[in-house]
Amino acid sequence: MSGHSEYQNRPVHVSELPMEQLIQFGIDVAAGMSHLAAMQCVHRDLAARNILLGERLVAKVSDFGLSRDIFESEEYVKSTMSKLPLRWMAYESLFYSVYTTQSDIWSFGVLLWEIMTMGHLPYEGMRGKQMMDMIKDGGRLEQPLHCPDELFAVMQDCWKTLPEDRPTFPQLKTNLDMIIQAHKMY
């Protein structure tokens, strides 16, 4: 086997990525999650660690280890206490073990936050109980440095306490498309 492979990892220095590319990652993920939602599948572990970058830096949703089909009831209630990705979980998932497409929306907001912080750990320095208490009291992640206000507003929409108040993945894709278009004008 030769030393060259078309599948070699090529480092990308995030400091070289323009804001439009960072937002495009979100658009790509929203498109992929729109497809999952249309198939009535809940991912339950949407996070930057589960996004692959393909050719031309297209972001692709991966790791369906926690995903569930919700065709029958449109929600999944977890009944066992296994390890879960608390820092990415929605209010209703943390406190009531309920998972829906709308709980994936919450996780998508955290994923956008990860993108804008270049991979920082959400709620860094907090233990699980501290984080849960903060969320229960209405606290959310802070606006990342250099994150446009309109993009942070999208994140905040994803973190609304009531699932029905959150946008859908198609709405998120449209909102991000509008932000990227406005950003290109500057």
Residue numbers annotated as active site: 45
Dihedral pair phi/psi, residue 72, rounded to 5° = -70, -50
Contact 100, 76 (CB under 8 A): yes
Q: How far apart are CA 87 and CA 124, in angstroms?
A: 9
Closest by alpha carbon to 44, among 77, 81, 80?
A: 77
- What type of residue sits at position 47? A
Contact 51, 26 (CB under 8 A): no
Q: How far apart are CA 125 and CA 66, in angstroms?
A: 26
| C-alpha distances in Å from residue 11, one per residue of 14, 15, 16 | 9, 12, 11
Residue 77: helix, strand or coil by DSSP?
A: strand
